[in-house]
Structure 1
Amino acid sequence: MKINQLIKFEPILKDKIWGGEKLATLLNKHSKSKDIGESWEISDVEGDTSIVVNGALKGKNLKELILKYTSDLVGDKIYAHFGEKFPLLIKFIDAKEALSIQLHPNDQLAQERHNSFGKTEMWYVMQADKNANLIVGFQKEVSPKEYIKHLDNKSLLDILNVDEVQKGDVYFIPTGRVHAIGAGVLLAEIQQTSDITYRIYDWDRPNPDGTFRDLHTEEAIDAIDYSAKDSYKTVYSKNENASSEIVSCQYFTTNVLPIKGEVSINHQEKDSFVIYMCVEGNVTFQYENQTEKLKTGETILVPACIKNIKIIADEVSELLEVYIK
């Protein structure tokens, strides 16, 4: 039996010490907490499996879908490689305060140490307060010895690259690259399915109970990429009613798709599910006799076996289109 619907999931909301109100006020994520840091839109992380909220599959979880529909859901090549594990974790993040300075191990280290995938990721800035910034990479190449010296002296910012950001900015974060989301930034994050983070500096910030979050100083030393780039920001172009590639790596490809009016999309050449994240406006998806609305801050999964859809936007809207090549 083929899977025959577009799929929306219940967001999994995460309270964070650095979280704020934007996920509620701007993206309409409902929670009793005032410190929602993350909305996990599609997740197969152990203990946090997404649950379907629409159509005939309502109430089923992502793991059950993969077990039942296998490559019809994810694609032949992806199912052959990942089996019953969904390979991507899709999030919206609101940083009211700065996140810790951190990095993620590569596949080999993550497998050896944590029996996990590594964590390559990317950010798409949806909104940024005045002077809000991101920390991404080093200003110049440093040695592990120099890094440790600055870490001990609490002067890491002297060697890290800090960029002021605005709506539409994109950053690709391969494993090993030191990074942090600054206060006042709301963004969409696409990443490998992994929750392994090496936290190297947390601003000496206590938890509400006075304790401090763990740092991973030793684990991080041989996981860090100490090289530097002239610029870390991704340059890309946008074309109305057309998908334009922003980031492509072995783990995911992300396109930006600005829509006005009606667009017919054919995914015939893809052997992959396709995820759409609405980062501006609102759209309606049509597939056969089904319609699904998607507002800013919502996400939908198109199974790999569904090749033709129509997207309609009454106002200028923008989607991120994510799949695996």
Structure 2
Amino acid sequence: MEKKIYFIEPVFEAKYWGGQALKERYGYTPDLPNIAIAYHVIALPQHNLDNTVKETGEKLSEFYRNHKELFGCNREDFPIRMGSGNKVKQISVQLHPNDEYCLQHEGEKGKFECGIFVQGDRDHLAIRGHNAKTREEFRKLVETEQWDKLFRVVTIKKGQYTYGPQGTLHGSPYAPTEEEKDMVELGFETNSDITYRLYDWGRNMPDRPLHVEKVIDTVNIPDNQNMGVDIVEKDVNGCKVAYFIDKPGIFTAFRIRVDENGTFERKEFMFLFCIDGEAEINGTVIKKGETIFIPCDYGTLTIKGKAEFGGMTYRNL
């Protein structure tokens, strides 16, 4: 298979809490009442979430399986996902279980995630972790519904990214304000879609079941360290590059900003999503809202234009 740049077509999902900001920002036009999540990179056919590779017509899961030489990845299953989210309602308090528990009970791996805000970035409050010191205390606070005592509410500051290992309790402590409804978060995650809800603010919606016992089984104890993390950029060959996560066997997530001209190179395969602007990469024009795949050992990327990209790859253990 030719080692060239491939375009990845997005997949969209509407949810109870989704808004219109992704349609407005990127000009996406799916026949959906809202876009809660635009998946730029995902390969979960069992959940009907699977991108299409524009040049070949293959689903991304098939493309990965059929052309492993383009990835240089030792994972049997596709390892990563990337998507943009926009919420206009309060989301549940939830977690993503660890791999061992998730494989045993759900038949797939758990989810590790981090994210940056690419629109409407501002200081805001978020539930990140909890205040229980033991699993027994956690259970007691849940059973007595002492949510204010249990949930750990922190301030995520403008310019920070969020970091969520498996088992991290997270959610929204309040419904978004009118000003916050335009916030768009770009998420970098392992390729899973398993979520356990602990509390849904009394909504009791049939399609949003709770998983209280599973949360108690899998929540991190203790979980009182998770905060927003300051983004650190470095100048690299005309690019401003910031790495968020870079862990073999999990994923590598980064951001690239170019003002005019720059070069960038990694030996691993890469997915690049154009957050803002427009640029030409080795002769291929990529516009705001588009995603490209770059095979492993492709060589140097020459970037011309003013643009910002979110990037992901995977390093073998």
If the TM-score is normalised by the length of the shorter chain, which range does it land in? 0.7 to 0.9
User: Is 1:158 matched with 2:149?
Assistant: yes
1:100-128 residue CA offsets vs partner (Å, 9 max, x unmatched): 11111111111111110111111111234
Which residue is 2:275 aligned to?
A: 279
CA contact (8 A) 1:263 1:310 kept: yes
Q: Aligned to 1:307, what secondary structure does the other structure show?
A: coil
What is the aligned counterpart of 1:302 among 276, 294, 297?
A: 294
Cα displacement (A) at 1:137: 1.3
Q: Percent identity?
A: 23
Cα displacement (A) at 1:256: 2.3
Call closer, same or farther: CA 1:129–1:152 in 2, change over 3 Å. farther
Which residue is 2:259 aligned to?
A: 260
Cα displacement (A) at 1:265: 2.0
Alignment of 1:234-273 (within 5 A): 234-240=229-235, 241-250=239-248, 251-267=250-266, 270=267, 272-273=268-269
Cα displacement (A) at 1:212: 5.6
Call closer, same or farther: CA 1:154–1:3 in 2, change over 3 Å. farther
Alignment of 1:205-220 (within 5 A): 205-207=203-205, 211=206, 213-220=208-215
CA RMSD of aligned residues (A): 2.2
Q: TM-score, normalized by length of structure 1?
A: 0.84
C-alpha separation in 1, matches of 2:21 and 2:14: 13
CA contact (8 A) 2:157 2:228 kept: no
Q: Which runs of 5+ in 2 are unaligned?
A: none
Q: Aligned to 1:25, what secondary structure does the other structure show?
A: helix
Which residue is 2:140 aligned to?
A: 149
C-alpha separation in 1, matches of 2:158 and 2:259: 19
Which residue is 2:17 aligned to?
A: 18
C-alpha separation in 1, matches of 2:145 and 2:276: 38
CA contact (8 A) 1:15 1:36 kept: yes
CA contact (8 A) 1:121 1:174 kept: yes
Q: TM-score, normalized by length of structure 2?
A: 0.86
Call closer, same or farther: CA 1:129–1:18 in 2, change over 3 Å. farther
User: Is 1:321 matched with 2:311?
Assistant: yes
Report how many residues are paired. Answer: 302
CA contact (8 A) 1:123 1:172 kept: yes
Letter matched to residue 314 of structure 2: I
User: Is 1:114 matched with 2:106?
Assistant: yes
Cα displacement (A) at 1:318: 2.3
What is the aligned counterpart of 1:293 among 286, 291, 305?
A: 286
C-alpha separation in 1, matches of 2:136 and 2:170: 19
Call closer, same or farther: CA 1:259–1:135 in 2, change over 3 Å. same
Cα displacement (A) at 1:133: 3.1
Which residue is 1:60 aligned to?
A: 58
Q: Aligned to 1:35, what secondary structure does the other structure show?
A: coil
C-alpha separation in 2, matches of 1:31 and 1:167: 30
Which residue is 1:190 aligned to?
A: 188
CA contact (8 A) 1:284 1:311 kept: yes
